[in-house]
């Protein structure tokens, strides 16, 4: 439901030529196609269980007509399931256990769950240790591997996935090396996320500690990562999260330390990135402390959003056909320390996890301008970090 190929997009869109491909920027087909199929969504919320009495992973049902959230269940007994990833079949969910010790070993781990195909409830399948403290996960498009970025330890790792959804032990670890210009935050590598391209051919790991996006060739069947160079960012930028444009070869990196968004063109044959633009995520004249966190492209491909912790806002950019950004504005997150956020696959709503004020804020997205309008009351939830949607089963 949520993975339209470029070819499918072009077949259902208009006839404007951009970069040799047909594309109508004003009439995106993808979110509208999903709207016709989906009435409700399931929302999984990852939390820090060592803060504010969080129970674990929370499950809500979201009504797409009203945007209202109704709590369904909670999966307790998990150590800091701070980041979540869902496999393409929607049968399995994986949680990064962002802990200093896991399964009797130093470092964190990754836990696999089966998703009940009627209720969305989670059943633990197994758990494996990680050679570091993981803060981000991605599932390969084939479903055959899970990739993790270890902030603590400064490496990335790939785990094989069995047919049952269970994880095998770490099969390949790629250690990052070096340091950055900020002695307090960049004294060592800190891999902060790992994302795959649509084909699952290459993986991209922004490393906050060394101001690089490390690139890997992925062999999912063998659970192997082969280094494929890197893209360098400005010194002391601290790259954190990474997002691809849904239909064209652009990628966006949000940097935590200097509060910027960088636009890259992407060569999907070679797996290389070329910088096109870097722009601030903060309002002009803002001088207080703020750190970026998350980045997402609207399903239409027309808008880009990023979270500012400290300024406590979502920055909104429009995306032109060249991939470059123009500032639309900023919207308060109605809370403190907006960690991750999510855009529902129909493109109607944006939800923000305000970690330090223990709340989730829901916004209606203006699909013409990209602007956000607060919707309803804040949802109270302890230490929310990560938000992941899937279509409701029934």
Q: DSSP states of 264-321 as a string?
A: EEEETTTTEEEEEEEEESS-TT--S--EEEEEEE-TTSSEEEEEEETTTEEEEEEE-T
Q: Encode pLDDT of 108-156 as tens digits.
A: 999 999 999 999 999 999 999 999 999 999 999 999 999 999 999 999 9
Q: Which pLDDT score, from 0 to 100, does residue 35 have?
A: 66
- Alpha carbon distance 31, 70 (integer Å): 23
Question: How many angstroms separate the CA atoms of 37 and 370, rounded?
Answer: 23
pLDDT in the model for residue 30:
56
Q: How confident is the model at residue 218 (pLDDT cuts 50, 70, 90)?
A: very high
Q: Domain residue spans in the chain?
A: 6-391
**Homologous superfamily of domain range 6-391:** YVTN repeat-like/Quinoprotein amine dehydrogenase (2.130.10.10)
- For residue 17, what pLDDT is reported? 33
Provide the 8-state DSSP code for 34: H
Give every CB contact of residue 7 below 8 A, 6+ residues apart in sequence. Answer: none
Residue written as token pair 């490393």:
207
Summarised one tens digit per residue, pLDDT across range 148-168 is 999 999 999 999 999 999 999
Q: Give which of 331, 339, 330 is closest to 360, Cα–Cα.
A: 339
Q: What does the block give as tokens for 365?
A: 């997205």
Instruction: Name the pTM for this structure.
Output: 0.92
Task: Report the pLDDT value the prediction gives residue 55, as an integer from 0 to 100.
Answer: 95
């Amino acid at each position: 439901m949520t993975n339209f190929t470029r070819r499918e997009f072009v077949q259902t869109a208009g006839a404007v030529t951009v970069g040799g491909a047909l594309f109508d920027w004003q009439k995106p087909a993808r979110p509208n196609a999903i709207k016709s199929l989906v009435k409700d969504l399931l929302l999984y919320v990852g939390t820090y269980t060592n803060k504010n009495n969080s129970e674990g992973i929370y499950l809500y049902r979201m009504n797409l007509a009203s945007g209202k959230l109704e709590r369904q269940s909670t999966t307790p007994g998990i150590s800091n399931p701070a980041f979540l990833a869902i496999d393409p079949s929607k049968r399995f969910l994986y949680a990064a256990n962002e802990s200093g010790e896991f399964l009797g070993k130093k470092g964190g781990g990754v836990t696999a769950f089966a998703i009940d195909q009627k209720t969305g409830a989670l059943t633990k399948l197994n758990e494996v240790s990680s050679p570091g403290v993981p803060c981000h996960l991605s599932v390969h498009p084939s479903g055959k591997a899970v990739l993790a970025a270890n902030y603590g330890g400064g490496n990335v790792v790939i785990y094989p996935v069995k047919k049952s959804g269970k994880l095998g032990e770490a099969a390949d670890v790629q250690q990052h090396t070096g340091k950055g210009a900020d002695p307090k935050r960049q004294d060592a590598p800190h891999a902060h996320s790992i994302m795959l391209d649509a084909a699952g051919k290459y993986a991209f790991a922004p490393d906050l500690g060394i101001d690089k996006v490390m690139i890997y060739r992925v062999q999912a069947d063998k659970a192997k990562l082969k280094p494929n160079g890197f893209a360098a960012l400005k010194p002391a930028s601290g790259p954190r999260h990474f997002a691809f444009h849904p239909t064209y070869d652009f990628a966006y990196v949000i940097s935590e330390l200097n509060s910027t968004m960088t636009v890259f063109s992407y060569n999907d044959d070679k797996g290389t990135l070329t910088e096109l633009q870097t722009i601030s995520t903060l309002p002009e004249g803002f001088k207080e402390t703020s750190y970026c966190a998350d980045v997402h492209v609207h399903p239409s491909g027309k808008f880009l959003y990023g979270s500012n912790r400290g300024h406590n806002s979502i920055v909104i950019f429009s995306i032109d056909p060249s991939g470059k950004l123009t500032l639309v504005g900023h919207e308060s997150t109605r809370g403190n320390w907006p960690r991750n956020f999510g855009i529902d696959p129909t493109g109607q709503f944006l939800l923000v996890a305000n970690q330090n004020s223990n709340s989730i804020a829901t916004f209606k997205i203006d699909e013409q301008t990209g602007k956000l309008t607060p919707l309803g009351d804040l949802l109270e939830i302890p230490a929310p970090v990560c938000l992941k949607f899937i279509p409701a089963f029934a």
